[in-house]
Amino acid sequence: MAPSKQNSSVNGNASMPSSQSENGFVSSYSLFSEKAVHELLQSSIQGSDDHLIEFSEALRTVAKALRRAAEGKASAQAEAAEWKRKYELERARNLRLEYKDQSCQENQNDLDGARIDDPANQPKLCGEAYDCSESCCARNGICSHEVLRDGKPDSDSKMLRKASFKLSWYCKGEKSDQHKHDIVSFERGNITTAERSSKQITLKWESCPQTVLILTKPNSVSVRILCAEMVRWLREKKKLDIYVEPRVRLELLSESSYFSFVETWKDEKEILLLHTKVDLVITLGGDGTVLWAASMFKGPVPPIVPFSLGSLGFMTPFHSEHYRESLESVLKGPISITLRHRLLCHVIRDAAKNEYETEEPILVLNEVTIDRGISSYLTNLECYCDNSFVTSVQGDGLILSTTSGSTAYSLAAGGSMVHPQVPGILFTPICPHSLSFRPLILPEHVTLRIQIPFNSRSPAWASFDGKDRKQLAPGDALVCSMAPWPVPTACLVDSTNDFLRSIHDGLHWNLRKTQSFDGPRDS
């Protein structure tokens, strides 16, 4: 931080300025300015001897030296005050982290778990800084709070000064889900980030889970047998309340009246309140069952434990034959979880009066696809990113995918495989009529708008996770942004290990025979 410039005032023939830095420190020097010395001596030195001229020059030299000393002291005081402020901020932050670490340790020793749906009992990661208000965290779930730290000052860079700055989240309007949070930054222009939400996340129960929801793949005898066995074990051994779908409850009651304790729901209103009752969701099936489980929750989603009983298992790392050991570990905790981002999609019709007059929003875990349907004409789509024109899509269509859906339709259309905890949106064309049209990966905070132009030869069709197909006529638009409620899925080991194992086992990624060792070699 640079000190403020010195102000001079002339009273009569002399100047008595006081130097003051930006932080309020006042210099104890009272000195003469060069201009004042010149005015003082101008009248007296005319016609005098040479020694008076030399004396006047000496006074000017003394005035310059005093001025430099005053400026140096003010600069040193300003720098000392700034380093003191940074030390106090760092010390306060360390005390907060120390207190939270101690609280987490005490809670771990005294309690076993917490209701995940209660914002007051949300699991907090020890060592993370939570600077935003409780209302923001309750509204948006897990928030990311980054701390910018300055490195150690170089001894030979004392004369170098860089502009100080402060960073903050950009908030797009009052109705935006992106709330503004100040980020602490230090001077000298060095930006470093610490503690990001994309780190491996561990869930620790603070009170025992009480209610479990079990969702199953339909029309499978093996799943039906396993479901009945699991319900019995969870009830008798773990004393848990169990919810199932109405279809599954009828199947269980047809086998035995013992399962009369199993609960279900009657209408859509009760489904909307499931997240307030359920502590844990168990899925028995493949990735499609996980997608079905995520679609049931229009807001916050309880942690999901997915068991592999389907065709593909990119999101189902748990094995059904070891379900007792797996559930014992999950209910005891702590467990590693993967936060799988979802897209929030709105269809805006041409007849809408404003941007907020939309159809019911749709949440997707894999992707939203805009294609040409049964039409023989190419799709014509105009794409915008935060109101900036991106490109026009002419081809079979476009895929907007989450990173969890990068191994689904987007991969088949030429998109990249992306780690599910990378916060981004995949922009993948389907059979574009241009060789230079390559896929993009955009940051998670952008809003994408896909517009059907009025000169389009035919309408387009949008499908959300492969269902809920909607026709988009010329003039209609589809708006997609990242939803504030991710889908937390439990990990068998951790998110990276599970992801790499899934692409090796599910896709046989980069699998080939090893090169023979007895072939030709470099001499």
Higher-pLDDT residue of 120, 334: 334
Per-residue confidence (pLDDT) for residue 88, from 0 to 100: 76
Higher-pLDDT residue of 164, 268: 268
Among candidate residues 175, 231, 178, 214, the one with its CA nearest the CA of residue 296:
214
Q: Which of 195-209, 274-288, 301-315, 367-381 has the lowest mean pLDDT?
A: 195-209
For residue 106, give both structure tokens: 């005490």
Per-residue confidence (pLDDT) for residue 93, from 0 to 100: 74
Per-residue confidence (pLDDT) for residue 103, from 0 to 100: 64
CA distance 49 to 53: 7
Determine how many CB atoms are found less than 10 A away from the CB of residue 305: 27
Positions annotated as catalytic residues are: 287
Can you tell me the mean pLDDT for 421-425?
Answer: 91
Per-residue confidence (pLDDT) for residue 438, from 0 to 100: 95
Contact 61, 97 (CB under 8 A): no
CA distance 91 to 189: 21
Q: Which of 128-132, 171-175, 357-361, 500-504 has the lowest mean pLDDT?
A: 128-132
Can you tell me the mean pLDDT for 371-384?
Answer: 93
Helices (runs of H) and strands (runs of E) counted in the chain: 10, 23
Can you tell me the mean pLDDT for 270-277?
Answer: 90
Strands 467-472 and 440-443: unpaired
For residue 383, give both structure tokens: 């794409």
pLDDT at 482 over 80: yes
pLDDT band, residue 429 (cuts 50/70/90) = very high
Per-residue confidence (pLDDT) for residue 520, from 0 to 100: 80
- The torsion angles phi and psi of 45, rounded to 5 degrees, stand at -90, -10
Rounded to 5°, the CA angle 472-476-480 comes to: 90
pLDDT at 193 over 60: no
CA distances from residue 139 to 299, 451, 452, 488 in whole angstroms, order as listed: 10, 30, 33, 17
pLDDT band, residue 3 (cuts 50/70/90) = very low
pLDDT band, residue 225 (cuts 50/70/90) = very high
Per-residue confidence (pLDDT) for residue 190, from 0 to 100: 57
Can you tell me the mean pLDDT for 107-121?
Answer: 49
pLDDT at 418 over 60: yes
pLDDT band, residue 5 (cuts 50/70/90) = very low
Q: Which of 25-29, 89-93, 330-334, 474-478 has the lowest mean pLDDT?
A: 25-29
Per-residue confidence (pLDDT) for residue 116, from 0 to 100: 44
Per-residue confidence (pLDDT) for residue 114, from 0 to 100: 46
pLDDT at 81 over 50: yes
For residue 409, give both structure tokens: 């339709």
pLDDT band, residue 65 (cuts 50/70/90) = confident
Among candidate residues 189, 168, 4, 184, the one with its CA nearest the CA of residue 81:
4
Sequence-separated (6 or more) residues with CB below 8 Å from residue 377: 457, 458
Per-residue confidence (pLDDT) for residue 11, from 0 to 100: 42
pLDDT at 158 over 70: no
Which string of b and e fits 380-415 if b means at least 16 CB within 10 Å?
A: bbbbbbeeeebbebebbbbbbbbbbbbbbbbbebeb
Per-residue confidence (pLDDT) for residue 170, from 0 to 100: 54
Per-residue confidence (pLDDT) for residue 515, from 0 to 100: 81
pLDDT band, residue 41 (cuts 50/70/90) = low
Q: Which of 57-61, 296-300, 495-499 has the lowest mean pLDDT?
A: 57-61
For residue 340, give both structure tokens: 């799988």
Per-residue confidence (pLDDT) for residue 518, from 0 to 100: 81
CA distance 496 to 198: 12
Contact 150, 188 (CB under 8 A): yes
pLDDT band, residue 40 (cuts 50/70/90) = low
